[in-house]
Chains A and B, each alone.
Chain A
Amino acid sequence: MNSKPKNDQNFMALLLKGFFIIFCLLSLIFPIETSFAGVIKIGEIDPLSGRLAKNGIEIHQGIEVAVAEANAKGGIGGARLELVTRDDQSRPDVAISRAEELCTWEKVAALTGGYVDALVGPIAAVSQRCKTPYVASASLQKELAAHKNPYFFRVSRLQGFVEPLCRFMAERFKGQRLAILYAATPGSTELAQDLKRCLEKQDLAVRLMEKFRPGTPDFTPLIAKLAGMKIDVIVSGGFTPDHILFIRQLKENRMSPKAYIGPFGIAYESFISALGNDADYLYTTCAWNPGITMPGTEKASASFVSDFQKTFHHQPNTTNMHGYTSARAIIAAMQKVWDNRQTVNGENIRNALSKLDMALPMEHLSFDANGDPTHYHQVIVQIQKGKLVVIYPPDRASGHDIYPMPSWEQRN
């Protein structure tokens, strides 16, 4: 009667030993990928499909170059960096679930990527919840940084646009009739409001402030309104497609303002090639471009351009550089943690990010207490014969602007 249980016990012991041996063998063949052993995971969430796909893909490409560059140099303390990319489909709800998946399931050490505040905001909230640092690639809304989220950092900020634009416009367009049009997004709305306030302090009156939905299918009535008000200078806080349509319809309706300034979405090769000569004389802002880099970082900039071209076979743009910069910040922080012989975890990376101080092609990167970059500044450029010419600030200018821009009749 007693022999049966004993046999069972032996069988169980044998089974457990068997499992243990198989487990050991499998561990030898497939080493377990933990974040802090042979592989360190960096999570990335970008809009790779949907209406923001173009920008999301560009951010992703920049991040990919930064990670490949770090791995080519031996990773972090011999550990290879693995980029775990997720598509938020340009939708905030999807961004939340992807961020949660990366934090809890993939157990990434840090998060990066993100384009526009509507998508960056939800990811930032998740990063705080799961105590994983997040360096956003493209975000402007002031409120996001005011949330006192110790895990949130970003490589761009609104004042980096407003300050140079306001100074330039105050010097250049004194006495002109100004209109500010802005897209119904948090970043664009804040830019318009801050710019208006700043311009009014400089005694420049803004005659019209008008909000529009990004992707508005027709600007003709607005153009008729602007013509009726005899507006000289138009500032439009729309994005690439809005500018394309606006310029097309300005030309079609033969309305020629003296200047058109689009802070977002113009300083791109694809924009210039889509509009051709019609893109000439437009003013825009630019943080970086293969020909426009922070003084002293020319070599690093050329190296990025070369690596990028080898991988993607075309010239990088400012959005690519935003992705690259955010990933470089995380990698530098991880390296710092490793150099200090600390565990590469969320808390230590966050601490290292808050003390980061490094020169990159786009900016001298360090973060303030809210995670905002302290030295992010755009330069003012004008498109001349299909090229971006830096015209402001004077210490970085490579040419002079052409003002007023010739009328459409003169250009044909």
Chain B
Amino acid sequence: MWTTLFVSSLSLGSFYTLIALGFALIFGVTRNFNLAHGELVVLAGYVSYWLWKIWAFPFILTFPAAILITLLICLGLERLFAHLYEPQELNSIVLSFGIAVVIQNSMLFFFSGDYRLIRIPVLSRGFHILGVYISYTQTTLLGLSLIILLMLYVLMYRTYLGKAMRATIQDKDAAALAGINVAAMGTLAFCIGAVLIGIAGPLYGCIHYLYPSTGREATLVAVTITIFAGVGRLSGIILAGWILGLAESFTVVFFGVSWREMVSAVLLLALLSFRPHGILGHGER
């Protein structure tokens, strides 16, 4: 039981990571607190569902379409956020809340209030290893989150573009003084964020279920993990996802399901009190 629980917790944490990555990147670079993030994840899921169910697209081929749609929307969002006055964080919350409501109601109108599931039979199968049953869903989530993080790591730490983005995350004004096109970095962050949302959405429909208002849950997960990891610290995100997944799972087993959210909240409060710069943070840089 314990090994199964451990594996499923890591898989849950990886799922959280995939949902949070786009949000964390956009917030880190542009300081825009995108409350419509979850709705975009769900919308990407709906795009994938529709192509898979109605047009009988192979599931894997629905990802590019979902990415394209989220890319277009995110570029539109970036333009809207660019016109906001200071304080940017606060105004972006207000604007994105409105956008979230619009997206949510549009999804209700276009996709109805029925619960939608993307059912990929192969993902519900699995294999036994050392007496533990591991499903392909769990391995996919673990593998995909690690691959995406690795790619992001290479981009951020091994390319000039990544250095420029990290400089923007650390200090926007200093980066601008150093000749970095901060506005272009913002656009790039939105584009990468859109790709990540476009990947997370179809998986969301495959692992969870699609419903117009479920985006709020996804946003909450993204915000929690981002705070947990520390703003702008992409490397801490998977660690934060796993810790949260493990904490939630073991709380359910030892104390009951109703304590699950309480533990997440307590962990978050403790972190904000004792390590306000995130789980891997070392104070102001």
Contacts and interface: CB of A to CB of B under 8 A. Distances in A.
Pair from one complex:
yes
Interface of A: 49-51, 53-55, 57, 90, 181, 184, 210-213, 215-218, 220-222, 224-225, 227-228, 240-241, 244-245, 248, 251-254, 270-271, 274-276, 412
A218 B258 contact: no
B258 A53 contact: no
Interface string B108-150: 1000111111010000111000000101011000000000000
B248 A218 contact: yes
Contacts of B133: 253-254
A228 B2 CA distance: 10
A211 B258 contact: yes
B4 interface: yes
Contacts of A244: 115, 117, 209
B275 interface: no
A334 to B, nearest CB: 30
Interface stretch (B5-13, B85-93, B173-181, B187-195): B5-13
A252 B119 contact: no
A241 to B, nearest CB: 6
Contact of A222 (B115, B137, B211, B257): B257
Given A228-B1, A252-B124, A54 B257 contact: no
Contacts of B125: 412
Given A221-B250, A248-B124, 17 more contacts: A53-B113, A54-B114, A210-B256, A211-B256, A218-B249, A220-B8, A221-B248, A224-B253, A227-B4, A241-B115, A241-B209, A241-B211, A245-B209, A252-B126, A270-B115, A274-B116, A274-B209
Interface string B202-219: 000001110111100100
A180 to B, nearest CB: 13
B188 to A, nearest CB: 30
B51 interface: no
Nearest to A55: B113
Nearest to A218: B12
A274 B260 contact: no
B170 interface: no
Given A218-B12, A253-B8, A224 B115 contact: no
B114 A253 contact: no
B243 to A, nearest CB: 15
Contacts of B208: 217, 245
B124 A275 contact: no
Nearest to B137: A252
A291 B29 CA distance: 57
A191 B276 CA distance: 43
Q: Which DSSP category, helix, strand, loop or mixed, fits chain B's interface?
A: helix
B253 A225 contact: yes
B55 to A, nearest CB: 18
Contacts, number: 107
Contacts of B113: 53-55, 57
Contacts of B9: 220-221
Interface in B238-257: 248-250, 252-253, 256-257
B261 interface: yes
A250 to B, nearest CB: 10
A184 B124 contact: no
25 contacts: A54-B115, A54-B211, A55-B113, A181-B257, A210-B258, A213-B257, A213-B261, A215-B217, A217-B208, A217-B217, A218-B12, A218-B248, A220-B8, A220-B11, A220-B12, A221-B249, A241-B115, A245-B208, A245-B209, A248-B117, A252-B137, A253-B133, A274-B114, A274-B115, A274-B116
Contacts of B209: 241, 244-245, 248, 274
A53 B115 contact: no
Contacts of B112: 54
B29 to A, nearest CB: 27
Contacts of B138: 252
B249 A220 contact: yes
Nearest to B138: A252
B257 A217 contact: no
Contacts of A217: 208, 217, 221
A240 B112 CA distance: 15
Q: Which 4 A-B pairs have the closest CB atoms?
A: A54-B113, A221-B252, A221-B249, A212-B257
B124 A224 contact: no
Given A221-B9, A240-B115, A210 B257 contact: yes
Contacts of B1: 224, 227-228
Contacts of A220: 5, 8-9, 11-12, 249
Nearest to B246: A221
A78 to B, nearest CB: 37
Contact of A221 (B5, B104, B124, B214): B5
A253 B257 contact: no
A55 B1 CA distance: 37
A216 B213 CA distance: 14
Contact of B257 (A53, A55, A211, A215): A211
B212 A53 contact: yes
A51 B217 CA distance: 11
Contact of A251 (B115, B116, B124): B124
B213 A50 contact: yes
Q: Which of A90, A211, A224 is packed against the most chain B CB atoms within 10 Å?
A: A224
Contacts of A54: 112-115, 211
A90 B115 CA distance: 17
